[in-house]
């Protein structure tokens, strides 16, 4: 089977800039919505003293991961902040006391079996660091009696332009990636692992191949450099040749996909006990003079981070994540979350006016899911739910390839998302009756 | 705080626009225009300019009257003008060409909603209306290089029984509509479009291939089959008209069906019809079938499961 893809410019300017750890800021604003699923509730009050690694938010919900303080200091405020998803989310504002004290709970984690490992993963606050932010403990917490995975797939495709944080992770913490893989394989009893890396990162492929030399069950697969190579279903197909059926999770095809940086984090957590309070982030864009990779504490504001990468002028767009799937920040004070792998700053971006669809079919030849994006757009415009079902809009992964190639500059990917919401509403309405 | 732009992802777009695509098509048509000027003289250029100007004017005026956004900057009217001119004999009175432009742009294109909405290829519909209205003018052909002679000598096209060598057909030194005679120039344009990824080679290959194969049976010789694909409007139609986005299927499977269908109808008309040429009719007929082809060639989505018959919902 041939999967459609698009060729994107790579813009990996920051690939060879070594990660710099930034000094902890005066203040952090940590959102309780750091992951996909149920947001946490603050477990601290205004005035509380917190140390680095202390839990400040948690939830009883399964689909969740705890949130920890990234600095030591005093809780100054618990407030609602407009989240990039468009909803108001509770956030904890912590003022730095400059002492950089580390939580008493931070010490190497002892793990001897599956349950302890999963509990540790949950306690670490780990979520998918690739961008979507799926809680790692949920992904790994499958029921081994129901279905056992045959493959652990490590997503190191990093197919989005600009972003190099996963690449830097391979280069600087490749040993940790491998250690994380081994931990997951050991405690979850996964027999094989494939590390998928796009061919535009030959050094990372080379390095991981060397590291994996002694372990035949862990292999490195060089992937074609095309977009969206790192989309979960695409990656599974390109690495192990399996197809994830509509409406199913990767586990149904015997696969678990974990981002490479997440794997490295798990190893680091088990070794040190420091939960997910900081992450590697790429700063780039057409007004960034020094494209860089930084280690930043969760909750640090964009403005403080990009200061270190030097801007040549004022941005008119700030994108959190990659240019294909990232979201626009509302202002430069917006805080970084666990899921942000990049901050991109742009100015004088070309503005395109949408024109009429000319039926060129470029979107249909760009869609990795083999959908007909323009037909979906038409069906959504006339609110034809039956047609939308037939066109399988729910399979759309919102990679944005259709909007990218569209010569008429339609925001087709956005329409696909709206169409999915529209179908969900109709379904809810029908169930209500 | 300066206002930031908030927009849906993706935040980068390919630089390809409708205008650039149309510009590429115009560039791809230039070699044929060049040959045409060499074979048929300056009037070929004049005819093209008249058609393009009229098409752009009609597009502008009809959008204005219908109170719609102006779309002449997308250059699609220029492409229609060129294609229509290429489908006319060089001697056609200009006022007839103007009528053709009106039919193409106003009736076939704008009445159906403009670019992307028309079900038939505007240039082909324009040509067919002219063909039916002014049959004798539309089938009056002149000898190549007639402009060197003092008196006008009419000739017939190879399809209508005229004599022409394969080389003449390939280079274009033969009678015919002004843009269709040179297979070489049209092929250069077609290769350019394929390289620029403006058109998929599926339609032209299937169209020309089908005509070639069927013509072997029809004429009984390889030379006859070669002449069949080199003469008449096959090259122009297959490369530039059967690949029109709006009026042809979107998927590769659909394009293959479309191309084979066009080739089949062309040969049938040539062999059994009363008219010597069938390319424009074949494309028009297949244009009408396009929505149907699109409907039956919906690709299977990656990982899609067929809905269970009799299952829930």
Query: What number is the ipTM of this complex?
Result: 0.89
Checking if the pLDDT of B129 tops 80, the result is yes
Q: First and final CA of chain A: distance in angstroms?
A: 42
Residue A244 lies in a domain: yes
pTM for the full model?
A: 0.92
Q: Alpha carbon B42 to chain centroid distance?
A: 22
Which of A407, A427, A433 should one mutate to test binding to chain B, selecting the residue with the greatest count of B CBs within 10 A?
A: A407
User: Closest partner residue to B4 among A317, A401, A405, by Cβ?
Assistant: A317
What is the span of the domain harbouring residue B237?
18-296
pLDDT tens per residue across span A313-350 = 999 999 999 999 999 998 899 999 999 999 999 998 88
Query: Residues A183, A136: contact at Cβ < 8 Å?
Result: no
Q: Alpha carbon B114 to chain centroid distance?
A: 17
Kind of pairing between the strands at A88-96 and A151-156: unpaired
Based on the domain organization, do A118 and A263 belong to the same domain?
Answer: yes
Q: E-assigned strands of chain B?
A: 141-142, 154-155
CA distance A48 to A94: 9
Residue B4 lies in a domain: no
**Helix, strand, coil content of chain A in percent (nearest 5):** 30, 20, 50
User: Closest partner residue to A368 among B114, B252, B302, by Cβ?
Assistant: B302
Based on the domain organization, do A233 and A132 belong to the same domain?
Answer: yes
> pLDDT > 90: what percent of chain A?
89
Based on the domain organization, do A118 and A254 belong to the same domain?
Answer: yes
Number of domains in chain A: 3
Number of domains in chain B: 1
Across all residues in chain A, what is the average pLDDT? 94
CA distance A311 to B208: 56
Average pLDDT estimate for A339-363: 92
Checking if the pLDDT of B219 tops 90, the result is no
Q: Which of A337, A317, A339 is nearest to A328 (CA)?
A: A317
Q: Which of B37, B53, B57 is nearest to B45 (CA)?
A: B37
Based on the domain organization, do A202 and A131 belong to the same domain?
Answer: yes
Based on the domain organization, do A132 and A222 belong to the same domain?
Answer: yes
User: Omega of the bond prior to B10 within 30 degrees of 0, cis?
Assistant: yes
CA distance B248 to B239: 12
Checking if the pLDDT of B310 tops 60, the result is no
Q: Please report the pLDDT score of residue B313 as a whole number.
A: 39
CA distance B24 to A77: 59
Residue B303 lies in a domain: no
Q: Please report the pLDDT score of residue B156 as a whole number.
A: 58
pLDDT tens per residue across span A139-183 = 999 988 888 999 999 999 999 999 999 999 999 999 999 999 999
- Which of the listed residues A243, A272, A301 is the one where a domain comes to its end? A272
Average pLDDT estimate for B33-49: 94
Q: Which residue has the tokens 């690939």?
A: A15
**CATH number, residue A125:** 3.40.50.11540
Q: Which residue has the tokens 């009026």?
A: B247
**CATH number, residue B217:** 1.10.3430
**CATH number, residue A308:** 3.10.20.600
What is the span of the domain harbouring residue A122?
114-272
Based on the domain organization, do A211 and A67 belong to the same domain?
Answer: no
Helical residues (DSSP H) of A28-141, grouped into ranges: 114-123, 136-140
User: Closest partner residue to A361 among B1, B10, B251, by Cβ?
Assistant: B251
Residue A362 lies in a domain: no
Based on the domain organization, do A152 and A207 belong to the same domain?
Answer: yes
**Residues on chain A touching B76 (C-beta within 8 angstroms):** 358
User: Which burial class, exposed, middle or buried, applies to A343 when counting CB atoms under 10 A from its CB (0-12, 13-18, 19+)?
Assistant: buried
With CA atoms as reference, the chain A residue closest to B7 would be A328
Based on the domain organization, do A76 and A198 belong to the same domain?
Answer: no
Specify the DSSP element, H or E, that contains A76: strand A73-82
User: Closest partner residue to B300 among A161, A352, A370, by Cβ?
Assistant: A370
Which residues are CB-contacts of A255 (< 8 A; sequence separation ≥ 6)? A149, A150, A151, A152, A153, A236, A240, A242, A244
A317·B1 Cβ contact <8 A: no
User: Omega of the bond prior to A268 within 30 degrees of 0, cis?
Assistant: no
With CA atoms as reference, the chain B residue closest to A331 would be B4
Residue B6 lies in a domain: no
CA distance B34 to B181: 12
With CA atoms as reference, the chain B residue closest to A345 would be B4
pLDDT class for B153, splitting at 50, 70, 90?
low
| Other CB atoms within 10 A of residue A307 CB | 13
Average pLDDT estimate for A196-203: 96
CA distance A147 to A143: 7
B304·A247 Cβ contact <8 A: no
B245·A327 Cβ contact <8 A: no
Specify the DSSP element, H or E, that contains B47: helix B42-65
- Tokens standing for residue A348: 């004088």
Residue B307 lies in a domain: no
Specify the DSSP element, H or E, that contains A93: strand A88-96
User: Which A residues in the span 378-417 are in contact with B, Cβ-Cβ below 8 Å?
Assistant: 390-392, 395, 398, 400-401, 403-409, 411, 413-414, 417
pLDDT tens per residue across span A21-46 = 999 999 999 999 999 889 999 999 99
A330 touches chain B (CB under 8 A): yes
**Residues on chain B touching A375 (C-beta within 8 angstroms):** 298
B304·A398 Cβ contact <8 A: no
- Which of the listed residues A329, A346, A363 is the one where a domain comes to its end? A346
CA distance B50 to A327: 49
Based on the domain organization, do A170 and A212 belong to the same domain?
Answer: yes
The helix/strand count (H/E) of chain B reads as 13, 2
């Amino acid at each position: 089977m041939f999967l459609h893809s698009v060729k994107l410019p790579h813009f990996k300017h920051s690939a060879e800039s070594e990660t710099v750890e930034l000094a902890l800021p005066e203040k952090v604003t940590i959102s309780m919505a750091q992951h996909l699923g149920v947001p946490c509730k603050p477990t601290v009050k205004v005035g509380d003293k917190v140390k680095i690694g202390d839990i400040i938010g948690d939830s009883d919900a399964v689909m969740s991961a705890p949130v920890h303080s990234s600095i030591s200091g005093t809780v100054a405020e618990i407030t609602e902040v407009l989240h990039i998803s468009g909803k108001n989310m509770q956030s904890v504002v912590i003022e730095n006391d400059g002492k950089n004290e580390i939580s008493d709970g931070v010490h190497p984690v002892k793990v001897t079996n599956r349950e302890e490992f999963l509990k540790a993963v949950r306690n670490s606050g780990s979520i998918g660091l690739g961008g979507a932010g799926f809680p790692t403990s949920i992904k790994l917490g499958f029921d081994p009696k129901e279905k056992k995975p045959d493959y652990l797939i490590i997503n190191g495709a990093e197919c989005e332009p600009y972003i190099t944080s996963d690449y830097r992770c391979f280069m600087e913490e490749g040993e940790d990636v491998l250690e994380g893989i081994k931990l997951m394989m050991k405690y979850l009893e996964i027999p094989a692992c494939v590390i998928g890396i796009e061919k535009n990162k030959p050094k990372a492929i080379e390095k991981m191949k060397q590291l994996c030399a002694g372990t035949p069950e862990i292999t490195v697969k060089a992937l074609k450099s095309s977009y969206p190579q790192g989309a979960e279903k695409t990656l599974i197909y390109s690495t192990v040749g399996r197809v994830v059926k509509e409406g199913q999770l990767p586990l149904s095809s015997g696969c678990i996909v974990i981002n490479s940086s997440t794997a490295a984090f798990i190893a680091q957590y088990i070794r040190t006990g420091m939960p997910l309070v900081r992450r590697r982030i790429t700063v780039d864009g057409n007004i960034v003079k020094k494209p860089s990779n930084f280690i930043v504490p969760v909750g640090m504001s964009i403005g403080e981070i990009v200061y270190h990468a030097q801007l040549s002028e004022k941005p008119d767009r700030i994108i959190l994540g990659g240019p294909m799937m990232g979201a626009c920040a509302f202002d430069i004070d917006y805080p970084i979350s666990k899921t942000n792998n990049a901050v991109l700053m742009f100015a004088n971006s070309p503005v395109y006016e949408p024109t009429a669809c000319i039926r060129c079919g470029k979107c249909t030849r760009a869609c990795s899911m083999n959908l007909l994006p323009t037909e979906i757009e038409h069906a959504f415009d006339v609110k034809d739910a039956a047609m939308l079902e037939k066109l399988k809009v729910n399979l759309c992964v919102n990679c944005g390839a259709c909007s990218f190639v569209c010569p008429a500059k339609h925001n087709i990917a956005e329409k696909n998302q709206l169409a999915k919401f529209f179908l969900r509403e109709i379904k809810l309405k029908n169930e209500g009756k | 705080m300066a206002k930031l732009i908030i927009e849906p992802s993706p935040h980068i777009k390919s630089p390809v626009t409708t205008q650039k695509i149309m510009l590429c098509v115009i560039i791809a048509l230039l070699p044929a225009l060049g040959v045409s000027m060499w074979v048929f003289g300056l009037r070929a250029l004049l005819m093209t300019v008249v058609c393009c100007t009229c098409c752009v004017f009609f597009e502008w005026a009809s959008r204005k009257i219908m109170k719609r956004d102006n779309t002449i900057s997308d250059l699609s009217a220029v492409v229609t003008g060129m294609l229509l001119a290429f489908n006319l004999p060089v001697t056609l009175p200009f006022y007839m060409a103007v009528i053709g432009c009106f039919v193409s742009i106003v009736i076939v294109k704008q009445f159906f909603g403009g670019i992307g909405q028309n079900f038939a290829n505007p240039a082909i519909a324009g040509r067919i209306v002219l063909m039916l209205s002014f049959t004798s003018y539309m089938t009056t052909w002149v000898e190549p290089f007639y402009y060197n002679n003092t008196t006008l000598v009419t000739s017939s096209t190879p399809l209508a029984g005229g004599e022409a060598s394969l080389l003449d057909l390939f280079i274009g030194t033969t009678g015919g509509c002004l843009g269709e005679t040179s297979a070489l120039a049209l092929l250069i344009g077609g290769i350019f479009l394929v390289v620029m990824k403006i058109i998929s080679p599926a339609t032209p290959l299937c169209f020309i291939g089908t005509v070639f194969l069927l013509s072997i049976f029809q004429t009984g010789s390889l030379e006859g089959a070669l002449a069949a694909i080199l003469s008449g409007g096959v090259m122009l139609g297959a490369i530039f008209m059967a690949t029109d986005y709006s009026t042809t299927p979107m998927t590769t499977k659909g394009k293959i069906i479309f191309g084979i269908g066009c080739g089949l109808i062309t040969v049938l008309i040539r062999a059994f019809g009363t008219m010597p040429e069938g390319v424009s009719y074949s494309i028009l007929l297949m244009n009408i079938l396009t929505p149907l082809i699109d409907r039956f060639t919906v690709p299977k989505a990656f990982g899609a499961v067929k809905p269970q018959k009799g299952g829930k919902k």
